[in-house]
Amino acid sequence: APNPIEAIRFRMDQYDLKDKDLVPFIGQSGRVSEILNFKRKLTLSMIRKLHAGLEIPTESLIQDYELKN
């Protein structure tokens, strides 16, 4: 299964979304950048919003993944 960030990026490619388009689901642009660059983990609230808004499967969003330094 893809990790959550791969799943988000896949959906972004499908819908031709930019990072700023994720603000309603993740929060301010700095937070979006941290999430997409593996600096911060998704919260339950983000997972719910991404699932509802972008129809990303919950199973993909709840996968564990390593953060990068």
Instruction: Please calculate the CA angle 15-68-48 and round it to the nearest 5 degrees.
Output: 45
Q: What is the pTM assigned to this prediction?
A: 0.94
Give the CA radius of gyration of the chain: 11
CATH number for the 4-61 domain, one of 3.40.50, 3.30.2390, 1.10.287, 1.10.260? 1.10.260
Looking at the predicted structure, is the pLDDT value of residue 69 above 90? no
Interval 4-27: pLDDT, tens: 999 999 999 999 999 999 999 999
